[in-house]
């Protein structure tokens, strides 16, 4: 038995390499990468993993109102810290790919418990019929290097800072 396996060792290695290569080609498709990044981004926000959440934001991140990465991380951190338990779900998701840019429109809903500020934020998000628009940009030659460059939603235009809540 061992002699038979050793006899076909080269063929087994070639088949394994081809299977791994095919898996990478499948996994590294731009639409699949953007979908994975979006899901992992929302999971990081839900789990309040600050370093992981910050890693998704591009250095040139901007909201349509001109707010930057630092502001987005500060404001989301202040609001998300108000939750004791949090579940963030996305639905009615639509992805539009264009060269090295992807736009994801997704209806975001939140469930959880926390302070009064958390309940107000959750209510504002859940009562809004408008989807969030996440813009992801492919930043390098690496197929997995997608970063969040913008987020847009009507709430971001009315609630400039946490004090607005």
Better pLDDT: 114 or 30: 114
Q: In angstroms, rounded to a whole number, what is the distance separating the alpha carbons of residues 46 and 79?
A: 11
pLDDT at 165: 43
Mean pLDDT of the 125-146 span: 92
pLDDT at 163: 47
Task: For domain 30-164, say whether CATH 2.60.120.10 is its number.
Answer: no
**Percentage above 70 pLDDT, the chain:** 82
Q: In angstroms, rounded to a whole number, what is the distance separating the alpha carbons of residues 156 and 22?
A: 41
Give 49-83 pLDDT, tens digit per residue. 999 999 999 999 999 988 999 999 999 999 999 99
Whether 137 has a pLDDT exceeding 70, the answer reads: yes
Treating both helix axes as pointing N-terminal to C-terminal, what angle do 116-127 and 69-80 enclose, rounded to 10 degrees? 110
Whether 16 has a pLDDT exceeding 80, the answer reads: no
Mean pLDDT of the 139-146 span: 87
Whether 26 has a pLDDT exceeding 90, the answer reads: no
pLDDT at 164: 45
3-state SS track over the chain: CHHHHHHCHHHHHHHHHHHHHHHHHHHCCHHHHHHHHHHHHHHHHHHCCHHHHHHHECCCCECCCCCEHHHHHHHHHHHHCCEEEEEEEEEEEEEEEECCEEEEEEEEEEEEEECHHHHHHHHHHHHCCCCEEEEEEECCCCCCCEEEEEEECHHHHHCCCHHHC
Query: pTM of the full predicted structure?
Result: 0.79
């Amino acid at each position: 038995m061992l002699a038979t396996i050793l006899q076909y060792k080269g063929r087994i290695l070639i088949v394994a390499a081809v299977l791994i290569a095919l898996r990478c080609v499948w996994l590294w498709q731009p639409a699949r990468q953007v979908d994975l990044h979006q899901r992992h981004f929302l999971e990081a926000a839900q789990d309040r993993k600050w370093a992981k959440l910050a890693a998704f934001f591009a250095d040139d991140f901007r909201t349509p109102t001109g707010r930057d990465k630092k502001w987005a991380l500060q404001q989301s951190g202040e609001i998300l810290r108000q939750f004791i338990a949090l579940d963030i779900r996305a639905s009615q998701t639509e992805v539009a790919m264009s060269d090295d840019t992807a736009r994801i429109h997704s209806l975001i809903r939140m469930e959880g418990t926390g302070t009064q500020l958390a309940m107000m934020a959750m209510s504002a998000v859940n009562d809004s019929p408008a989807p969030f628009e996440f813009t992801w940009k492919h930043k390098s030659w690496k197929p997995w290097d997608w970063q969040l460059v913008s987020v847009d939603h009507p709430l971001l235009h009315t609630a400039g800072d946490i004090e607005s809540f």
